[in-house]
Structure 1
Amino acid sequence: MDKITVVALEDLPKISRATSVSCCLALSILYVASLYVWKDSQQRNHPSTVKKRFCSVSIVMLIAPIFVYNFSSKELLKHCSLFEILGLRWKGLVAAFVIPSLLTALLFLGPLSVQLYNGHLQLYSRLQYWNCCINNVHWLRNHVVAPLSEEFTFRACMMPLILQSFTPVKSVFITPLFFGVAHFHHISERLRSGLDIKTAVIVSCFQLTYTTLFGFYSAYLFAKTGHFIAPVIAHAICNHMGFPEFQELFQQNTSRKIIFCIIYVLGLIGWIVLLPVVTNPSWYGNTLFWRAAI
């Protein structure tokens, strides 16, 4: 029997809240600082800067589990391997990949419907499109490296620590704050690119808001499924879709506009209704982070 199915964090000794929060703060600082260790005058989107940051966050991913191992309850480490604590396990893996993918796609049902109508979805069936993506360093950053490195640091490593000090519900609302604030560092890059301080602050605050909201969703997926892959795939899809652009929607004629608006709303309502249902921990063999009965 998989060891993770016979133990829950709430049954084990807690670590102090000061310890878990301090570790998360340190990991946040470490992640952001790693992006600026290079003496580089190029902007963040320059290929050389992007590649250097790939190296930086990869190193952070190697360091982050050390915090989990050193500061977790010794009883927890006796019952579960470090890989299981980090959400790296086989049991429930397929469900943790497929279900969050479909659930996140449902959230973007409106934009996807507009893309389908406009023929943009046909691009995904073309091999040339995917060849271009794989060879594009910015695509790799947004869809592969960022989801992997950010979710590993802010979810797979932070959530197990916070969950050893707080209830699952509180943990879901605490860790995204580190994630959202960590994205606020982009304000310096916006200022360097020529934006005035007022615009840079407004844009950064907007980014802080939606990254924190996504953080709630991502943390919830990790806590409910107990799998690292669940928030990673959701992150990749959200990065690909971006914040919904309503300009294309409003360019439709009145009847299509009404239909698409209804689809937007139905997608959001469907996501809200199904979120607690399809993330039942028992579907993923998860009793470590969140009781199936909760």
Structure 2
Amino acid sequence: MPPIQAPMYPLSMLSSHLLALLFGSSYVGSLYVAQNARLRFSTRTPDTQQRRYMPGSRDDPAVIRARLTAVTIATLFNCAVLYALITRSTAPSFDSSASILAILGVRWPRSILSCLQTPVLFLGPLYGSYLAGTLPGQSQYSLQHDFLGMFTTWVGFRNYVWGPLTEEIVFRAYVLAVYAMGGAARWKMIAFAPLVFGLAHVHHAWGTYNRLGRTKDALRRAALSTVFQTAYTTLFGAHTSYLFLRTSSLIPPITAHVFCNIMGIPQIQSEMRQFPAQKRTIIAVYITGIALFSYTLVPWTETPGSLYWRAPDAFWRAAMQAS
């Protein structure tokens, strides 16, 4: 019996790494290349509401529009690069039937349960919101402020619509596609792709440092917040990468991204201080959420025939047969 020949992947692992960095750096770099998208800082110390809409600030509608335009162009540019790589490879289609859209995860997931993975993990924060009465239908929930105000402003559109959409396209679909083209094992894709996503948030340190006054204390706070944000986004990126690989769909990662942006960082200590009588229950619900998340992670994301959750050589088996 002749030895089994290793599949010849279109890219080397080094090329996959470099392309992943290109996708990430071009996305972030577009915010600084476009002049109107750059932040401007003032030496004044306005209050929170004034700072939010100060001309040139991160939440200035003009800056948001410029930044959304910049990342859209970067996303389209990276799509063109990926399209050229795929069409010039020895396997222009995966398993002789997959299209470019399928490679990018433009499809509905097999089960809606894959979109509920993140809400299960956030069972504790959701319980905290319930105690505060801020869930939909409760006394402290406002349709005008908490829903319409969230999705009909430029800040809301950036945070909950266009930001999650373009980031998941670039940092999940594009990055994982080039790693698959390099023959990376699944665990490597789940490990490497989130690093690119985490590093893409390091640039926030510059804005934090300037916003806090460019002092030594500002530098320390910027460094600490950036380390935490990078670690958090890297872990989140690992989760959404897993969702994408398991389902071969961008819908679960996008819904997870939107949901996390809405919920924010879990505040268990703040919730226990606010509701001391429910302290043990809050801890129990947090633990229950983590346990249920772990228990449902595999069955809820099960997708028979997933384009990405196969052995790595399945991507390019057609090319090997053709050659």
Counterpart position of 1:105 = 119
Taking the TM superposition and a 5 Å limit, the aligned residue runs for 1:80-229 are 80-89=98-107, 93=108, 95=110, 98-122=112-136, 127-128=143-144, 129-165=146-182, 166-194=184-212, 196-229=218-251
Residue 45 of structure 1: aligned partner: 59
**SS of 2:93's equivalent?**
helix
Q: CA deviation at 1:11?
A: 6.7
Pair 51,271 (structure 1): closer, same or farther in 2 beyond 3 Å: same
Aligned length: 275
* Contact 1:19-1:71 at 8 Å conserved across structures: no
Q: Deviations over 1:154-198 (max 9, x none)?
A: 111110111222011211111110000010000111111025111
Shift of 1:76: 4.3
Residues 93, 99 of structure 2: 8 Å contact kept: yes
2:274 to 223, 226, 251: 251
Match of 1:29 among 22, 25, 28: 25
Q: 2:47 maps to which residue?
A: none
Q: 1:77 aligns with which of 77, 84, 93?
A: 93
Letter in 2 for 1:164: M
Q: Which residue of 2 aligns with 1:4?
A: none
Alignment partner of 1:17 is 2:13:
yes
Higher helix proportion (structure 1 or 2): 1
> Partners of 1:20 and 1:267 in 2: how far apart?
35
Match in the other structure for 1:5? none
Match of 1:260 in 2: 282
Q: Is this contact kept in 2: 1:15–1:164, CA < 8 A?
A: yes
Does 2:264 match 1:242?
yes
Asked if 2 retains the 8 angstrom alpha-carbon contact of 1:14 and 1:164, the reply is yes
* Deviation sequence 1:90-116 (CA, Å, 0-9, x none): xxx1545x2233211110001101211
CA contact (8 A) 1:50 1:138 kept: yes
- Measured against aligned partners, the alpha-carbon deviations of 1:203-246 in whole angstroms (never above 9, x if no partner) come to 10000000000000011111110001111111111111111012
For the pair shown, the structure with the greater C-alpha radius of gyration is 2
SS at match of 1:227: coil
Structure 2 CA distance for aligned equivalents of residues 176 and 94 of structure 1: 21
What's the C-alpha RMSD, in Å, of the aligned pairs?
2.1
Deviation at 1:260, TM superposition (A): 1.3
* Uncovered stretches (5+) of structure 1, i.e. residues with no partner: 1-9
Amino acid at match of 1:27: F
User: How far has the Cα of 1:127 moved from its partner?
Assistant: 4.3
CA displacement at 1:32 relative to structure 2: 0.6
Structure 2: distance between partners of 1:67 and 1:289:
20
Q: Give the Cα separation in 2 of the matches to 1:76 and 1:261.
A: 51
Tell me the distance in 2 between the aligned counterparts of 1:183 and 1:217: 17
**Is the 8 Å Cα contact of residues 87 and 227 (structure 1) preserved in structure 2?**
yes
Letter paired with 2:309: W
Contact 1:12 1:75 (8 Å CA) reproduced? no
